[in-house]
Structure 1
Amino acid sequence: MTWTKPSIWYANLASFYAAAAAFITDPDGRVLLVKPTYRDHWAFPGGYVDEGEYPHEACAREIREELGASRRVGDLLVVDWAPPAGQRPRALISFTFDCGLVGSLDGFNLAGQELEDIAFFERREAERVLPGSVATRVRAAIGARNGNAPVYLANGSVFPPTRG
Structure 2
Amino acid sequence: MTDDVQGDRPPVTRPAGFVEPEIYYAGLPAAYVAAGALITDPTGRVLLVKPHYLDHWLMPGGTADEGEPPEATCAREVKEEIGLDLPVGPLLLVGWAPARAPRPRPIVTFIFDGGELDGPERIRLQEDELDDHAFFPPDEARRRLGRVGRRLPPALHARETKIPYYLSEA
Alignment partner of 1:44 out of 44, 59, 66: 59
Q: CA deviation at 1:60?
A: 0.6
Distance 2:68 2:26 in 1: 21
Q: Deviations over 1:40-99 (max 9, x none)?
A: 110010100000211100111111111011100010101000010011111100000001
Structure possessing the higher radius of gyration over alpha carbons: 2
Unaligned runs of 5+ in 1: 158-164
Distance 1:17 1:135 in 2: 19
> What does residue 162 of structure 1 align with?
none
Aligned partner of residue 71 in structure 2, secondary structure: helix
Distance 1:22 1:102 in 2: 12
Aligned partner of residue 50 in structure 2, secondary structure: strand
What is the correspondence of 1:1-164 to structure 2 with a 5 Å cutoff? Answer: 1-2=15-16, 3-132=18-147, 134-155=148-169
TM-score (norm 1): 0.91
Identity %: 48
Aligned partner of residue 89 in structure 1, secondary structure: coil
* Number of residue pairs the alignment of both structures matches: 155
TM-score (norm 2): 0.88
Aligned partner of residue 56 in structure 1, secondary structure: helix
Report the RMSD for the aligned CA atoms in angstroms. Answer: 1.0
